[in-house]
Amino acid sequence: MVAACRAAGLGDGCLGPALSAVLELLQTCLTRPGASLSSSTASLLSGAALELLDPANAGLLESTGAPLKAAPAAGSSPRPVTQKLSSNSRMSTATSDSEGEGLVGTPAGIKRAALVCLQAAVKVDPRSFHQHWPALLQGSSVPGNQQTSSVVSALAHDASPRVRLAAAASIATLLQGVAQAAYLGLAEVAPGGRTASFIPLSERMGHLVTRLHSQLLAALCSESQARVRAGTLRALGTLAVGSPYSRLPPELASETLEAVLSRLTAPPPTAQDLPALLTCLAAVVCHTAGVPFPCPAIPAATAALLRLAATSAPAQQLDALITLRGLAAREGGALAPVPSALESLLAAFAPHLREASGATAQAAAQMLRLLADVAARDAQRTQAVLTLIRRAPALHLGATTPPPVAAPEVRAALCTLGAALWPADAELAERCVRAAQADEASAVRSAAAQAAAGLVERCRSERTPAAATPGGHGEQTLRAALDALGTLGRDPVLAVRLAVARALAPDLCAWQPALLALALALGADRHERVASLGLERAAASLRQQVDAEGRGAAARDAPALAACLAGALRPTRPFKVQWAACGLARALLEVGSSAGECVAVPAPDLVPPLLEGALSSPSERTRALCVELLRTAIPQMTGGSLVLVLQRLTGARQGRQLAGKLGGALSQKRMS
């Protein structure tokens, strides 16, 4: 870019304004509606940004002359232009650190303009920049200089706070989004490293992600400007969202969490740091939850988070409570003793639940779910949380005619909390589920489905002797939960039926015939996601029955399961439903082939739907699956079933082709 400006005959005095004008024009083009970007343009923009950030060009940018001046209007005196470059990013609202630093045409202004232009290009087409991540986020060594030409090096070493802030925002933009999170998810670091000449993409991404964590943490520790620290925290939180910590070095997750947690306590965060710190902390805690490691900073950070959750603004309360839930899941002892840790938090939220809305309602819902998480850990904490709730009548938990609560998320969280108090207060849990089941908001009814499935799971595990006592609270709770799931499975709202399908764990369906029947009913749902989930749950429950009770017990349910296939394999059903039905048919054939002569073989019930799918389905995958399943079913067929197959093959238009595919299995069956 510098060479092009020089080729146009521009001297040093005009080079800075020319570069600024080019960058502003590029940004204007990229922010127009409908803007597109090719891979070659993305490569050129990445190279231009790195060229302007290159420390080797620092002397050249310093010689570009004074800031760009505006032409004076008639009758007015000349004055320098103090306007910043236009930008859609959050950086554009920041104030200038020193006079002239962010002006158009200055070295800092040119670098910042290049970074803002890069952000605009990334927002147009994020995928086209994936191949440039190593150059933009790691850079290459510059001869005679320890720094590198990259966005991260600008964040770590540039003298201008505005440039560092723009670099932090550029890193967050490069990593933000579904496509970028999926690309980050490829990262993996093999134990011990690799010595082979070929390094796969996953290994290269793993080293990039690991190094980027270290660079951002180092920049965070050395940064003195509060707003740049906030931008660095946002970039680190965005990186944490997509990082697969379970496949990265084990110390990476612990070091990242420890470094971010320590900023809560020593020294206390400033008002500018706090929002970004809590958002980053919530992201790191939630996405490192699956990596077990000791973290000594958790108790002190938990105390600080509890204070923030009770006294901060609603947005910060929400992030603090999400982080507390993550820490409670990682180390439940951090919230012990429960009364002293949570009583002030409950007292701060309970009086305002009825009128809560927006961010306040979301924070209140997270507070109630935090109580539910703590109560679900063990019987001692359940009793402690129940004692706290009885001291807070403003919650109206489980009341026969509870006062209206404005926010559906609060009512959903109240249902979750009430169910978590079983068996300490079984009647309260049942009342909460029944109230949520009849709620007008679909989100509350979805929460009721999850709570009811949780109650069934607790009854199955016989957490207390009451669960196994006939006529006791365990039996009543189980009956109430099953009734609630059956009613919600017929709900007219798709989201509620989908929540029921997701809540039907295979082991619960294998344990309760009513839930297996519900899964089969969902398999006939008109929506493909609900139907496919119901059939998958039914197939998995069949395999669970085989493992738990033997094949004879599983074969007893085979006729009812096979009857569901006729509708699921119809040509008009969605392809995903047909594929899920083929999975159920495979599970049935596995039972029938090994169940022995003492149980009914399900093959006769499977033959008509499998033949229909093999002959009539518009999906090539469905037809191939049905042919494979027919080959497995032919050895189990009786004489009448075999005659049915031959007649259907003779009368169908594509019967000869299908008979050729089944020829070997049919010949062996005829000979036997």
- 111 Rama sector, left if φ>0, alpha if ψ -120 to 50, beta otherwise: alpha
Query: pLDDT-derived band of residue 404, with 50, 70 and 90 as boundaries?
Result: low
pLDDT over 90 (residue 239): yes
Q: Of 30-34, 63-67, 177-181, 639-643, which gets the smallest average pLDDT?
A: 63-67
Query: Tokens standing for 160?
Result: 């201008």
pLDDT over 80 (residue 213): yes
Task: Write down the pLDDT at residue 380.
Answer: 79
pLDDT over 70 (residue 262): yes
pLDDT digits (tens, 9 = 90+) for 603-635: 556 777 887 888 888 898 998 888 888 877 776
pLDDT over 70 (residue 659): no
Task: Write down the pLDDT at residue 87.
Answer: 35
Query: pLDDT-derived band of residue 304, with 50, 70 and 90 as boundaries?
Result: confident
pLDDT (mean) for 313-332:
83
Classify 80 as helix, strand or coil.
strand
> What percentage of the chain reaches a pLDDT higher than 70?
73
Prior bond of 423 cis (ω within 30°):
yes
Task: Write down the pLDDT at residue 176.
Answer: 92
Residues 6+ apart with CB under 8 A from 48: 1, 114
Residue 371 · residue 385 · CB < 8 Å: yes
Report which DSSP code applies to 69: B
Task: Write down the pLDDT at residue 626.
Answer: 85
Q: How far apart are CA 624 and CA 657, in angstroms?
A: 12
Task: Write down the pLDDT at residue 21.
Answer: 77
Strand partners, 145: 142
pLDDT over 50 (residue 504): yes
DSSP string, 188-231: ---TT---SS---HHHHHHHHHHHHHHHHHHHHHH---HHHHHH
Report which DSSP code applies to 266: S
pLDDT over 50 (residue 515): yes
Give the mean pLDDT of the chain: 77
pLDDT (mean) for 234-256:
91
* Residue bearing the bigger pLDDT, 177 or 470: 177
Task: Write down the pLDDT at residue 79.
Answer: 36
Query: Tokens standing for 593?
Result: 């082939």
Task: Write down the pLDDT at residue 243.
Answer: 93
Query: pLDDT-derived band of residue 99, with 50, 70 and 90 as boundaries?
Result: very low
Residue 212 · residue 258 · CB < 8 Å: no
Query: pLDDT-derived band of residue 637, with 50, 70 and 90 as boundaries?
Result: low
Query: Among the ranges 103-112, 263-272, 530-539, which has the highest mean pLDDT value?
Result: 530-539
Report which DSSP code applies to 132: G
pTM: 0.74
Q: Of 172-176, 256-260, 323-327, 401-405, which gets the smallest average pLDDT?
A: 401-405
pLDDT (mean) for 575-596:
78
Residue 534 · residue 501 · CB < 8 Å: yes
Query: Among the ranges 55-69, 309-323, 535-549, which has the highest mean pLDDT value?
Result: 309-323
pLDDT over 90 (residue 403): no
Task: Write down the pLDDT at residue 579.
Answer: 92
Q: How far apart are CA 183 and CA 188, in angstroms?
A: 11
Q: Of 221-235, 244-258, 307-321, 403-417, which gets the smallest average pLDDT?
A: 403-417
Residue 505 · residue 461 · CB < 8 Å: no
Nearest partner of 366 among 412, 432, 425, 420, judged by Cα:
412
pLDDT over 60 (residue 141): no
Domains, the chain: 2-67+100-128 (no CATH), 176-291 (no CATH), 525-672 (1.25.10)
pLDDT over 90 (residue 488): yes
Task: Write down the pLDDT at residue 663.
Answer: 60
Task: Write down the pLDDT at residue 102.
Answer: 47
DSSP string, 471-506: TSHHHHHHHHHHHHHHHHTT-SSHHHHHHHHHH--H
pLDDT over 50 (residue 74): no
Residue 223 · residue 229 · CB < 8 Å: yes
Task: Write down the pLDDT at residue 661.
Answer: 59
Residue 501 · residue 537 · CB < 8 Å: yes
Residue 654 · residue 627 · CB < 8 Å: no
Residue 230 · residue 272 · CB < 8 Å: yes
Residue 55 · residue 147 · CB < 8 Å: yes
pLDDT over 50 (residue 81): no
pLDDT over 80 (residue 247): yes
